[in-house]
Amino acid sequence: MGKTRGMGAERKKRTHRRRQGWADKTYKIKCTRVQLIRNGKKIIAFVPNDGCLNYIEENDEVLNAGFGRKGHDVGDIPGVRFKVVKVFGVSLLALFKEKEKPRS
């Protein structure tokens, strides 16, 4: 076929760079995979604040909320539509500020 030129070239370059970023081992985004109880779907949820990912362990029960644009992904994080709000009923912000201990 050949190289894309003109208006389609920027879109092709952008999508190619997005895919290559996930393949790079140094490309780290603070996200976690979550399986929903209601229908069993697996989603990707953003973990806010620096270091809050350390408070979430495997098989923890988390509460998710929408992340911005009414079901669309936000900013430079492709495919992420939800964020983690609570872990075992304790706010992630309270865990981060060390006000409360997580229930197990």
The CA distance from 82 to 65, in Å, is 6
Q: Give residue-wise pLDDT tens across range 49-71.
A: 777 888 888 888 888 888 877 77
Query: Does the predicted model carry a pTM greater than 0.75?
Result: no
Cα→Cα distances 11→7, 35, 81, 82, 99, Å: 8, 32, 22, 25, 46
Residue 88 vs residue 14, higher pLDDT: 88
| Residue 56 CB neighbours (<10 A) | 18
Q: For the chain, what is the mean pLDDT?
A: 78
Residue 28: the pLDDT is 62
The CA distance from 25 to 82, in Å, is 23
